[in-house]
Structure 1
Amino acid sequence: MTNEIYGIDYLRRRLADKQTRVLLRYKYYEMKNNAQDFSSLAPEKFKGLKETVGWCAKAVDSLADRLQFDEFQNDEFDLSEIFLSNNQDILIDSAVLSALISACSFVYIREDNGYPRLQVIDGSNATGIIDPVTNLLTEGYAVLERDSMGVVKTEAYFMVGMTEIYSHGVLVQRIPNAAPYALLVPIIYRPDAKRPFGHSRISRACIAYTQTALRTIKRSEVSAEFYSFPQKYVLGLSEDAEFNNRLATISSFLNFTKDGDGDHPIVGQFQQQSMTPYTEQLRTLASLFAGETGLTLDDLGFATENPSSAEAIKAGHENLRLTARKAQRTFGTGLLNVGYLAVCIRDRYAYQRDAFRDTKVAWLPIFEPDAAALSGVGDAILKINQAVPDYLGARNIKALTGMESDGK
């Protein structure tokens, strides 16, 4: 753990530096991003056309929905009781979703009448100095409240053993605690040595493919006008004839009489424009996006075949399964860190982190098995337990199937 103190002003600047990128990813998740239109050929009426593509939201939700927290195993310090008292389902789902979008979310721990209370703060409102060994913070900073214009009203500065609360930039409260780390815990998605605060699920490639898809949809909207109403032409019209093409509608008829020489104009129609190039381009972009995120074309709205079985769906999402496994490990560490500091607050004692080394975070299966898969799992369990008696028990079976025994 480093002994250097950076201070609240440094952390404010650090958050301001990172906030723009985080808010950009939230825009893509909420489908509020604008398409960067490079074309000067589009009619002026189409300049303000707003198109949306929900691929980024799908990439995040498809992973977040499969990360279902189950329980703390070997829970000697009763972490489960703390999480259940803090709306466990909403708390963990919110922390996981925010971490997938912004690479890192934070859980703010405070004491309320001697009991720890947990609150999730998104990555655009918190930052800190991380200990690379434990993934806990030695210092932290969080914006707790903003006004309607986004201006900071209440903020907190976290240190080891102390939390300071600021209102409009003025220190108003100092709250001591027994925790050996700052009471702001990061929940990180895919951290590495270079980026300890992780990577966003909405990568730069996802943003680029979404932008191209939006421009493709906008071009198809412009072309649809010509697709629906092909352009027509008139040849050989007399120079003295009066003709207003704005009078021509779908249900109207045009009357051209012969001139004195018995000649008449020739009316024709240009070839109807095809929408196929746009759909093919959109499908190609969907394939690239699916490859980037571990999804399939079916997930992105392009039907490829008949409905698949549970095993076929699982096989088609192998990359997503591996990504979910990785996320379970890193998120599990973050949740365990939250429980560790919350226990320090509850018991008013600075436990060592290695005292929680036997406590494990258990998750429900990433893919729920169907009836056929359950039959196969049952046969496998029977054969394994015949070879090694009592090797697979209720806990292992629940990890494979997601089902609890009625006798529990």
Structure 2
Amino acid sequence: MNTEDVPILRGQAGWLAIESAYANTITGVDPDDQPTINELLKQWRRHYTRNTLRTSYYLAHYHYNGVAYSIPPAMKALAKPMIGWPNKAVRALADLSVFEGIDAPETLQTQVDDLVAANTFGVKIQQAIVSAYTHGCSFMTISGDDDDIRITPRAADWSSALWDWGNDRIGAAMTISDKDKDGYITRFDVWLPGKVYLCRRNSGTWQAERIETGFDRPTVVPIVSDQQLYRPLGSSRITRPLMALTDLGLRTLVRMEATAEFYAAPRIWFLGANKGQVSPDTWGSIVSVINGIPAGRNGEKPELRQLTQASMQPHSDMLKTVALMVSSETDIPVNDLGITMDNPASAEAMAEAERKLSRTADRQNKRFGESIKSILAMALAAQGADEADIRQLRPIWAPTKEASDAARADWYQKVASTNPAFADSDVGLSRAGLTWDEINAHRAYEKQQRTQNAIDELRAKIATAKTDTQEAAANGQQQPAAEQPQSGAA
């Protein structure tokens, strides 16, 4: 296996030694499960180099791959990654997937909220989405017991999975959980239907602890980017064309910098003068106020010729061309790639460019939502939740398209005038621009107001009843006195 593509990551915190991913015999593993574990390790070894290469582009740790004769060797040694287009391709789309919470039946809402809060699920799902866009997929594992359910995100460069084509889901998965200082794997977990093997290296041999899960499938759910029939585990946003364009952009900038070094100093030739007549201190001659060269023996005077400086325009035009190709590859507006065009795009053109990305985000959020429902379904089922209630879970995402407050207010006013019930629903309020937290705060305020109004009404009724009682009591005291006969009456 060729690892020359990613030597810069060797020795760093995330580096793993491929040669350590062999465990042909593991004590404590069922012999029928050993071939599956071997296949999972083989799958990880096969994809690790490419996954790590994409990580290096995302982190801007890639190498300068330039033509040897294009720039001086000294400048080539100074060339460092200065283009973050792969990172931009991932984050621009990931930032449109903002998870806000889970809408669940009233009987299950508190349990779901507690599970999400205990696992900081909003943070973990965002990490998993960024990892999925980087490598094509990431994974979320569900472990623990009824009292302590743990949902853990796993990156693809530390994991592998086998797809179950018959059931259209993961059939087996492996996640690496620890390594030593030399990058050798010391712990990994194997997730199979109904069980999990916790494998540990002990004195050069592998030993496993088996844990029963009670599920007919591995308790692992993939978070997939651009899932296709032929790629059930997705495709990375850092595509091969994008990596090639990033290399091309870096070469263009390096050539531009080399040209700028020559552009900074005037190119002067003296015809008829020998090198001995020119000061070896080139910079001192340039900045000196007075310079001179004596005539030759026969009175010939040296002739000065100044060459036209190299233009920076071709390099700038080439960088714009490369950025346009990156924009086409990633659906990111070219202005967001750090390029300003001579003819700025109109507001409509910019909105259309942003809509391409938001449509992709809407499609991805639906796919991510199904994965989130699968994750929480297994976690809640382990806690004994009702299956009918679990099926009603609905992940909530922030809108992917920006709209002005005036436009939202106009839409909301028109909807409220024709359908007040929808306007007052959670969906209507979210379309009006309120976040899920704001809607919950609004519902809590409404509940508080209803409670306060009920208390005020009860107090008013009590006060009215008390007044009526007092009036009735006063009337009751006066009535007998009125009914008594007057003294002296016949």
Specify if TM > 0.5.
yes
- Root mean square deviation of aligned Cα: 2.6
Cα separation, 2, equivalents of 1:51 and 1:342: 43
Question: 2:185 matched to 1:156?
Answer: no
1:307-346 pair list within 5 angstroms: 314-346=351-383
Question: 2:220 matched to 1:184?
Answer: yes
Sort the Cα spacing of 1:108 and 1:114 in 2 relative to 1 into closer, same or farther, 3 A: same
User: How big is the shift at 1:99?
Assistant: 0.6
Is residue 60–residue 81 contact of structure 2 (8 Å, CA) maintained in 1? no
Tell me the residue number matched to 2:243: 207
Tell me the residue number matched to 1:390: 421
Pick one of 362, 378, 384 that aligns with 2:412.
378
More divergent stretch after superposition (229-238 vs 77-86): 77-86
Pick one of 147, 150, 159 that aligns with 1:117.
150
Tell me the residue number matched to 2:38: 9
Tell me the residue number matched to 1:35: 64
User: How big is the shift at 1:58?
Assistant: 0.8
SS of 1:124's equivalent in the other structure is helix
SS of 2:364's equivalent in the other structure is helix
Aligned residue type for 1:145? D
Tell me the residue number matched to 1:362: 396
More divergent stretch after superposition (300-309 vs 279-288): 300-309
Which one has the largest radius of gyration? Answer: 2
Cα separation, 1, equivalents of 2:104 and 2:230: 33
Cα separation, 1, equivalents of 2:93 and 2:56: 18
User: How big is the shift at 1:14?
Assistant: 0.5
Sort the Cα spacing of 1:306 and 1:81 in 2 relative to 1 into closer, same or farther, 3 A: farther
Q: Deviations over 1:314-361 (max 9, x none)?
A: 4331110111011101111111111112123333x8x87x87443222
Q: Deviations over 1:46-105 (max 9, x none)?
A: 221223201111111111111101222234654343122101222111111111101110
Is residue 314–residue 367 contact of structure 1 (8 Å, CA) maintained in 2? no
Is residue 248–residue 254 contact of structure 1 (8 Å, CA) maintained in 2? no
SS of 2:211's equivalent in the other structure is strand
Pick one of 90, 100, 112 that aligns with 1:70.
100
User: How big is the shift at 1:225?
Assistant: 1.2
Is residue 232–residue 267 contact of structure 1 (8 Å, CA) maintained in 2? yes
1:8-407 pair list within 5 angstroms: 8-48=37-77, 49-75=79-105, 77=108, 78-111=111-144, 114-132=147-165, 136-168=169-201, 170-237=206-273, 241-249=276-284, 250-252=286-288, 253-304=290-341, 314-347=351-384, 356-382=390-416, 385-386=417-418, 388=419, 390-403=421-434, 404-405=438-439, 406-407=441-442
Higher helix fraction (1 or 2): 2
Cα separation, 1, equivalents of 2:93 and 2:300: 70
Aligned residue type for 1:324? A
User: How big is the shift at 1:298?
Assistant: 1.5
Counting aligned pairs with the same residue, the percent is 24
More divergent stretch after superposition (152-161 vs 70-79): 70-79
More divergent stretch after superposition (296-305 vs 360-369): 296-305
| Stretches of structure 2 lacking an aligned partner (at least 5 in a row) | 1-31, 444-490
Is residue 132–residue 224 contact of structure 2 (8 Å, CA) maintained in 1? yes
Is residue 142–residue 155 contact of structure 1 (8 Å, CA) maintained in 2? yes
Cα separation, 2, equivalents of 1:189 and 1:133: 21
More divergent stretch after superposition (36-45 vs 182-191): 36-45
Aligned residue type for 1:157? V
Cα separation, 2, equivalents of 1:43 and 1:143: 43
Q: Deviations over 1:110-151 (max 9, x none)?
A: 205732111111011112223457654221111111223321
SS of 2:287's equivalent in the other structure is coil
User: How big is the shift at 1:380?
Assistant: 4.2
Is residue 179–residue 345 contact of structure 1 (8 Å, CA) maintained in 2? no
Is residue 31–residue 52 contact of structure 1 (8 Å, CA) maintained in 2? yes
Instruction: Give the paired residue count.
Output: 397
Is residue 104–residue 112 contact of structure 2 (8 Å, CA) maintained in 1? no
More divergent stretch after superposition (25-34 vs 298-307): 298-307
| Stretches of structure 1 lacking an aligned partner (at least 5 in a row) | none
Cα separation, 1, equivalents of 2:56 and 2:432: 36
Is residue 323–residue 334 contact of structure 2 (8 Å, CA) maintained in 1? yes
Cα separation, 2, equivalents of 1:234 and 1:112: 86
Tell me the residue number matched to 2:19: none
- Choose between structure 1 and 2 for higher RCO, CA contacts under 8 A separated by at least 6 residues: 1
Sort the Cα spacing of 1:61 and 1:238 in 2 relative to 1 into closer, same or farther, 3 A: closer
